[in-house]
Amino acid sequence: MSLKKFFLTAALLLLTSHFCFSQTINKNKTVLASSNQAAQTIKSSPAYAEVLLRKTERESELEEFLLDYTEEFPKVKEIKFELGLLNKEMNKILAVNSAESGKLTLALGKLIVRKIELETDLWNLRRQYNDDHPEVKRAKRKVEVFEKAVKEVLL
């Protein structure tokens, strides 16, 4: 009699664990589907499109430069730096909650692109001068103004 109870308990435990496992898989599929839909909503936003446009333009320029110049050419380094910033900003845009996707306007995209251009200018100046140089200070302030504007839109 106790052997029969043992097998029934084992079978019940097996069925319960299988049910829980299948529920977890179904829940994960639902979460993945909704996160893919949210990512698509954000990727179709004007802000994301504007940043993607700039990234595509710069990648095209990089390919053109790499035909004639090495990785050490200053313009190649500059474009690679800017592409890194663009990728970082695109990831930030993708991290925005889909419920707030209305904030991802064309104006925001233009602000982000301009901020990245100014950050690249600042990077170039820092390669030539130290942080106390007036040109570096001016460029740094411009970047801060655009960062503040981007944060204001997203908050």
Is-contact 54 86, C-beta < 8 A? yes
Residues in the chain: 155
pLDDT digits (tens, 9 = 90+) for 33-49: 456 777 888 999 999 99
Given this model, what pLDDT does residue 12 score?
Answer: 54
Mean pLDDT of 23-34: 51
Domain ranges of the chain: 47-154
Mean pLDDT of the chain: 87
CA distance 2 to 120: 76
CA distance 127 to 140: 14
Among 114, 136, 109, which Cα is nearest to 43's?
Answer: 109
Tokens of 93: 């845009």
pLDDT digits (tens, 9 = 90+) for 68-100: 999 999 999 999 999 999 999 999 999 999 889
